[in-house]
Amino acid sequence: MSTKQQTKNTPSHNPENQNEPPFLDEFQEEGDLGVYCDLFSAKSQIMGQDGGIVTALLLKGLKEGLFDAAIVVQRKNGYSAEVISAETPEQILASKGSIYHRVGTTKKLLELVAQNKKRLAVVCTPCEGATIRKIQQTLCKDVELTIIGLFCFGAFNPQRLKEAIKTQLGVDIDRATKTQVKQGKFIVSVEEKEYSCKIEDLIKASDRVCGGCGEFVSMLADVSVGSAGSKDGYSTVIVRSKKGAKLAANLVDVQKDIVDKPIIVKLVKLKKEQAKKNYTQ
């Protein structure tokens, strides 16, 4: 069950416009969600974040030779993380889950390019995706990139988040087996128990750099993925390019469902409004 819209280039798709690069041409622009050809909700059999769809996409792409390595974020000790180059299914599976603070991927990309790596996948946030596309247009024109962009409403400062979670929920986030942002709540799982608070209660822990970003759905990705618009245990998938369509096609052992598109549009507009407000303050 999906929504498909594909047309030839429309007049609005100007390759010279930095917000509408040639990587995403020949696809219909759909207002607040950006350019896309397919929109669906999905769940894999992988025990990952919101149905493990990002992991399923990476495993499929690696198996089919769509890329040779994937730049992903892997959790380290406590609630910290590092960017790694995953070149095996085992390394991809070890990177399951979400860490809600900024971990730069561009440095790792440039490092791999310097090692003559030419076919890479990158999992990143909207702001990182925009930077990576700019790098691709200027410094890495001969590098074939597949971007899986995450929905993102902002990241947190690691130390301030740890303190805020301790104050709000009385738990140590370093002991969390899973963290999740869902329906306006920050959810922490510790020893098979869930603790949650409103995102607004953690506002002081937010990374201030994120306040001026108005992008929610990773419009410059080949495929965008996030929990908004899907029921529990599923992820919304927005396919934006031919490369993304090839990656998302014929996923094995995946259940599909419909997407609550108005919810996503509402969040897209809300983030834009908040960024504008923060910019003028």
Mean per-residue pLDDT for 51-73? Answer: 95
pLDDT, position 276: 83
Residue 2 predicted with pLDDT over 60? no
- What pTM value is reported for the model? 0.87
pLDDT tens figures, 159-215? 999 999 999 999 999 999 889 888 888 999 998 899 999 988 998 888 877 877 889
pLDDT, position 16: 37
Residue 14 predicted with pLDDT over 80? no
pLDDT, position 144: 94
pLDDT, position 22: 54
Which pairing describes strands 69-75 and 119-124: parallel, antiparallel, or unpaired?
Answer: parallel
pLDDT tens figures, 195-204? 999 988 998 8
In the predicted model, what is the mean pLDDT of the chain?
86
List, in order of start, the domains of the chain with CATH numbers: 32-155+208-280 (3.40.640), 156-206 (3.10.450.750)
